Amino acid sequence: MKTVYIDFVTIGDYEDFYEQLKSKLSLPDDFGDNLDALYDSITGFVALPLHIEFVNMTVSHLETFEDLLTTLEDAEEEVEDFSFSYFLEQYKTVAR
């Protein structure tokens, strides 16, 4: 299974997200930077099996990208060989 990592340290908005996604999934130039196009790509165009993992998300990202997470959850239910997960950023604790 191919795993694609999307690092949210460099993502502030949907434009940043789609730029990184298109690069990592080799989506065509005419990909329509929107959730419908993303869903259609996952359910019919990208090579499967595929796991997409979002790393270093913040609580703010969870709020901003709530529709994205819902869309990927829907795709995960629809497509047998697709999965995704997301992880909040981890802060290192400093020993005192």
> CA–CA separation, 4 vs 7, rounded Å?
10
Q: What does 22-58 look like in DSSP terms, one character per residue?
A: HHHHT--TT--SSHHHHHHHHHHTS-SSEEEEEEEE-
DSSP state of 57: E
Task: Report CA torsion sign: 47, 77, 6, 50.
Answer: negative
Instruction: Specify the higher pLDDT residue, 21 or 95.
Output: 21
Domain ranges of the chain: 2-88
Superfamily of segment(s) 2-88: Barstar-like (3.30.370.10)
Q: Each residue of 52-95: pLDDT tens digit?
A: 999 999 999 999 999 999 999 999 999 999 999 999 986 555 55
Residue 42 has what pLDDT? 92
Indicate whether this model's pTM tops 0.75: yes
